[in-house]
Amino acid sequence: MHERGDGLFPPAAYARDDESRDDHFYRVPRKVVHIDDGAIAALGRLYAEVLPAGGRLLDLMSSWRSHLPAEFRAGEVVGLGMNADEMADNPRLSRFVVHDLNAQPRLPFAAEAFDGAMCAVSIQYVLYPVMLFREVRRVLRPGAPFVVSFSNRCFPTKAVAVWLESTDAQHLALVRAYFEAAGAWWDVTEESRSPADGDPLYAVWARASSQHGGPEMAPKPPNVRHAPAEPWRAS
C-alpha cells in the first residue's frame, strides 16, 4: 500500500482521530441521510444534468439512498459501500458490493465497465484519493462523468485532517486537485449547488479522457494558491 495521500500532501494530512478499522465503524447500519431535503433535491438535479440516462452507473461509498431523482432512469446502478444492510435497502441499486476503499483502493470491476460514477458526501473519508480517482477512471468508459459532492457535515472522527482543517472553498480546490493529480480527466467543473436555505451542497465533476487520444489532463500537484490550510504540514 502507498502512503496516505498518495504523495499529494504529507501522510499527516490524512490522519484521523479514530484510526480503528473502518469495517468495524460501519458495521452497524446507519439509515439516515447526511444532508437535508433541499440539498438532496439539488444533488438530484445535478445528477440529472450530468449523469447519462440509461447508462450503467457506479455509486461509490454507497448507502441506503443514492439521491438519484425519481424520474431519472438508469440502465443499472451498482453500489460499492461498507454496509450490506444499508445497500440492500437502497431501492435504486441493481446490485451491490461490500468493499473497503481505504483497505483496498483498487475497484473490483473490469476496465470501462461504467457510463458514469458518483460519490456523495463521503470523499472526506478517503485515505488514498489519487489512487481512487485513477481507479474510477479505469472503470469508466471514455467521456463518462464522475460526480463528487459534499456538504459541511461528516463523521469528524473518521474524516481526514486536511478536510477538517479546510474551508468549503478549499474543499472544492482539494477535490479538483485529486482529479488533476490522478490525470486522465478533462472538463473539470466545480460549483456550489447550495439551495437558498438549509444545508450547503458543493460538487466537483469531470469526464474520463480517452486512453487512445482526446482531451486529457496531465498529472500535476495542486495549485499552491488554492491549497488547504496546513496546520498538519511538517515544518
Domain edges within the chain? 4-226
pLDDT in tens, 25-79: 667 656 556 788 999 999 999 999 999 999 999 999 999 899 999 999 999 999 9
pLDDT digits (tens, 9 = 90+) for 128-140: 999 999 999 999 9
Q: How confident is the model at residue 36, as a pLDDT?
A: 86
Q: HSE (CB half, 13 Å, CA atoms) of 131?
A: 17
Q: Return the percentage of the chain with pLDDT > 90, whole number.
A: 75
Q: Which of the four pLDDT bands, split at 50, 70 and 90, describes residue 100?
A: very high
CA end-to-end span of the chain: 25
Tens of pLDDT, residues 162-178? 999 999 999 999 999 99
Of 175, 95, 173, 88, residue with least CA distance to 136: 175
- Asked if 147 and 117 touch (Cβ cutoff 8 Å), the reply is yes
pLDDT band, residue 158 (cuts 50/70/90) = confident
Which CATH code for domain 4-226?
A: 3.40.50.150
Q: What pLDDT band is residue 117 in, cutting at 50, 70 and 90?
A: very high
- Give the whole-number percent of the chain exceeding pLDDT 70: 84
Q: How far is CA 55 from CA 74, 90, 183, in A?
A: 5, 18, 24
Output the average pLDDT for the chain. 87
